[in-house]
Copies of this chain bind each other. A is one copy, B any other.
Amino acid sequence: MRLAIMSVAHLHADGYINNLRAVPDVEFLGIADDDLARGQAFAEQHCTRLYESYDALLADKPDGVLVCSENARHLPLVLQAAEAGVHILCEKPLATTVEDCRTMIDACERAGVKLMTAFPMRFSPPVIEAKRVVDSGALGRIYGCNTTNQGSCPKDSRAWFVDKELAGGGAVMDHTVHLTDLLRWYLNSEVVEVFAETNAILYADATDEVETGGLISLLFDNGVFATIDCSWSKPKYYPTWGGLAMEIVGEGGFTTVDAFRQKITVYSHDRGRPVYKPWGSDADQGLINEFVASIREDRVPSITGYDGLKATEVVVAAYRSAETGQVVRLPLE
């Protein structure tokens, strides 16, 4: 199977290259990027081919592509790949508007290509184990979930993350979709109400465009309440970029999940600060494996474009709620 990457704006592309190269019988063709300097630097660093354009890359007829552009630029790349009849794994959030998500899903359906949303946390062993516990009924009826997906402000390493036009928003856009997806998966239920508070107190100097802190309350159709703290609340000198954790409370008990607990702390003299080094399973590898398997077995991937749309819908509702101070009901419109 021949795979390639369209845009390396999202630095998850770094890890994905290694993941692609680790899959037996997958040939990693190379990358294309509309920022030629960025593409060139990336291609050199990873010893891979740089196509001169997205057209040139698609002309090489890959079986599938990973779309790792800025959030707002997912749409044109997905449409281009779909028209070329190429399967697509798209970075999260699938798009910055629900309309864009719908357009992408429709285009992929018409073209008969797969569209998978990159929610790697579904392949994290502790997250999977907690899903098993919930499904087993050991916790009884689930009452509520308190969840956190925090991080450092990515401004320094990836300036476009704080550019409202390219990213679609700040911490809420960056960090809400993972947990929304996991909660939908755990609860087999859809969000019906969203209430959100956001501000830009943390990293106040990072940007005057986007929020850096957000706390979102969700009500699911089955009556479960959940909160998502999706802030960029880790200081610059924090030992890692962030983390994802959940507390799941049920009638029969509760469990906690810390997806990034498998780590050692290194006091690196070069860095001048403590640094977490993870030693646990690479969830991204599970994501790539599933994308490859869905193409090989010609089946729907375990995470779809629709999952991407539903998570994006919650983000859009959160922004609307933060702006109006009102609870926003889903589905939108």
Contacts and interface: CB of A to CB of B under 8 A. Distances in A.
A58 to B, nearest CB: 46
A269 interface: yes
Contacts of A239: 274
Contact of A273 (B234, B237, B269): B237
Contacts of A185: none
Contacts of A272: 237
Contact of A267 (B235, B267, B269): B235
A267 B240 CA distance: 12
Contacts of A234: 267
Interface in A23-51: none
Interface in A208-244: 234-235, 237-239
Interface in A274-326: 274
A235 B268 CA distance: 9
Contact of A235 (B235, B237, B238, B269): B269
Q: How many identical subunits does the complex contain? A: 2
Contacts of A274: 237-239, 274
Nearest to A272: B237
**Most chain B CB within a 10 A radius of its CB, from A235, A238, A269:** A235
Contacts of A273: 237, 273
A115 B272 CA distance: 43
A183 to B, nearest CB: 27
A322 to B, nearest CB: 25
A261 to B, nearest CB: 15
Contact of A238 (B237, B238, B267): B267
A223 B149 CA distance: 53
Nearest to A267: B235
A90 B36 CA distance: 70
Interface in A124-144: none
A273 B265 CA distance: 14
A238 to B, nearest CB: 6
Contacts of A237: 267, 272-274
A28 to B, nearest CB: 39
A239 to B, nearest CB: 7
A302 B274 CA distance: 40
A146 B214 CA distance: 47
A235 B273 CA distance: 9
A168 to B, nearest CB: 28
A212 B272 CA distance: 19
12 contacts: A234-B267, A235-B267, A235-B269, A237-B267, A237-B272, A237-B273, A237-B274, A238-B267, A238-B274, A239-B274, A273-B273, A274-B274
Given A235-B267, A274-B274, 10 more contacts: A234-B267, A235-B269, A237-B267, A237-B272, A237-B273, A237-B274, A238-B267, A238-B274, A239-B274, A273-B273
Interface pairs A-B: 4 shortest CB-CB: A235-B267, A237-B273, A237-B272, A273-B273
